[in-house]
Amino acid sequence: MVRRTGRWADAPYDAVVLLSAVVVLGPALGVGLVLGYDMVWVPDLAVTREGWGLADGVPRAVPSDQVVALLDEVVPGALLQKLVLLGSLVAAGAGLHRLVRTAPAAARALAAVVAVWNPFVAERLAIGHWPLLVAYGVLPWLLLVGRRLRTSGHTGLRPVLPVLPVLLALGSLSAAAGLMTALAALVAVGVGGRLRRSAAWALVALVAAANAPWVVAGALAGGATRADAATARAAAEAFAAHGHDGVPTAVAVLGLGGVWNGEVAAPYDVVRALLWAGLVLGALGSLVPLLRAGSGRRRETAVLLALAGAGVAVAAQSWLFPQVGGALATYVPGGGVLRDATRLQALVVPGVVEGAAVAVAVGARRLRATAAPARAVLGVAVVLAPVALLPGLAWGRAGELAAVRLPAAYADLAAVVAADARAQGLARPTVLSLPYAAFRAPDLNDGRTVLDPVPRLLGDVGVLASDELVVDGRAVGSEGSRTGDVLAALGRPTAADRTAALAELGVDYVVRARGADVDAAVAATGPLDEVVVADAPALTVTRLVPGGAETAVEPVPTWDAAWLAVAWTVYASLPLLALGALSAQVRRASRPRPGSAARGPATRP
């Protein structure tokens, strides 16, 4: 195949990326919303105090929820979700095949496919970690930024300021995503880009600004989010890397997988898992000889191997030494963010792509004398290898990621509660969401597990919803301060006692999900003294009799508000900084060079 050059040289590979992403997402791109585990999108997410970071518990959805809440005022939530999912995968593939731009065509096409079609993507899509997928899409572009600085000889950030702040902001929509993006930026841009000291400190400041909302919100939560030693150790063991369906944990980790939840584990068998592990090790091994290459290639290879080593090491540590994760969660505020350590497996993928490209290039040279048809067949086989090794990822994991339409009762929930609260003279009612379980498998989602969507549907109304996680039948603790009180109230012996106890907690309304999947859980809580406000097949809304005392909005401590205002201001300044840098570059490019205006057309003497 003749290698294309010029403006459209990347277009065929971008098309391969887009096709691969569409086949992977499949029904997720249909009408409606994709709901799965932590991916809980609603048609119109409200801007809330919790979204700013003023929450009871770990600010896991800061800044992602508030960013979505602001953006879906312009773009409908269902469309925005599809743009995020498709855009993340396309960005990852487009960046990774550009990372190996000088490699043979088969290597670039392989990079385009494997970026989208791998166990990491399979697991993170299923568990709903969309901010992490956005960071995954950002990752190769950070490597390209570092390469541009190194090859151009610039030791400052000015040439990349039109893109770098935006990449950092997009890559830091959650704590885990922000940590991964920060590590990639510091290694790929700071070390790989050969920055001078002042520029390196500027990079650190940009990374800090990108992570400021969740860092400050987590710090303000302080001791309330710090688990005791026993709970933290149990959580670390529950969320450590695991192999499932007979796949050894070491094999799963080496093969870009190993998520703790068996329901979302990569859909492959032991043989295919071993082949994925072999592919990863072989590709990374192909990079080792390049450590003796020229200084530029050696530095980039060292960056790729360092990132890959960090991704594998962190995941393996959670399995081999879970006590480390428990200690971090106990003694370091926010340290529990590392307990699902396989999230950093994304750092391994660029090294795998680069190593695979090296191996394909070596193979292409050795097969130069082979007949063209045979080379073409081998090239197609190489490109389609990721698909053959993970066929279960096709079409939204065989329909697991299908989009669904929320029933009207869910879409109208906020309006129903608000209207009845006004009639009752309640300025800010408190709603209890039942069944009191963090995750459920409602009929509206075709029985697929998802985090309770009610808090996101009600906006700034006070909502009591469980945040207690249960892994393999074992509770791993709650991060909120009222979960124990609610469970105690629901455990009272009579309806009158339960109602009175909930009223003491300020509960005015109860929202119950309905369906065969939750009937047993609802019945287990026992009946209450209540009046039906709305009754639909999907859910019911009732008002307690008597209702809870009026719940006042707790004032925000002045210093907390001030610190969070600073954090969000510096975060929001990143795209503005990029826009200003781009404008400055355009002005410099359009400015005539000294003496060019006075220089007339050349004439013969």
- The tens digit of pLDDT for each residue in 465-478 reads 887 776 665 666 65
Q: What is the pLDDT of residues 390-423, one digit of tens each?
A: 999 999 999 999 999 999 999 899 999 999 999 9
Rounded mean pLDDT, 154-178: 96
Rounded mean pLDDT, 251-264: 95
- For residues 242 and 302, give the distance between their C-alpha atoms in angstroms, rounded to a whole number: 28
Q: Which of 32-41, 156-165, 280-289, 541-550 has the lowest mean pLDDT?
A: 541-550
Rounded mean pLDDT, 584-592: 87
Bigger pLDDT: 396 vs 604:
396
Pairing of strands 430-434, 462-464: parallel
Q: What is the pLDDT of residues 278-317, one digit of tens each?
A: 999 999 999 999 998 877 789 999 999 999 999 999 999 9
> What is the predicted pLDDT for the residue at 513?
86
> What is the predicted pLDDT for the residue at 207?
98
Q: Does 594 score more than 80 pLDDT?
A: no
Q: Does 377 score more than 70 pLDDT?
A: yes
> What is the predicted pLDDT for the residue at 130?
98
CB 425 within 8 A of CB 548: no
**Among residues of the chain, what percentage have pLDDT more than 70?**
89
Q: What is the pLDDT of residues 20-38, one digit of tens each?
A: 999 999 999 999 999 999 9
Confidence of residue 524 (pLDDT cuts 50, 70, 90): low
Which is nearest to 169 in space by CA: 185, 148, 145? Answer: 185
Pairing of strands 450-451, 539-544: unpaired
CB 336 within 8 A of CB 235: yes
Q: How far apart are the first and last CA of the chain?
A: 51
> What is the predicted pLDDT for the residue at 2?
39
CB 211 within 8 A of CB 64: no
Which is nearest to 433 in space by CA: 508, 382, 484, 335? Answer: 508
Residue 506: which residues within 8 A CB-CB, separation 6 or more? Answer: 430, 462, 548, 549, 551
> What is the predicted pLDDT for the residue at 336?
72
> What is the predicted pLDDT for the residue at 438?
85
Q: Which of 44-48, 543-547, 598-602 has the lowest mean pLDDT?
A: 598-602
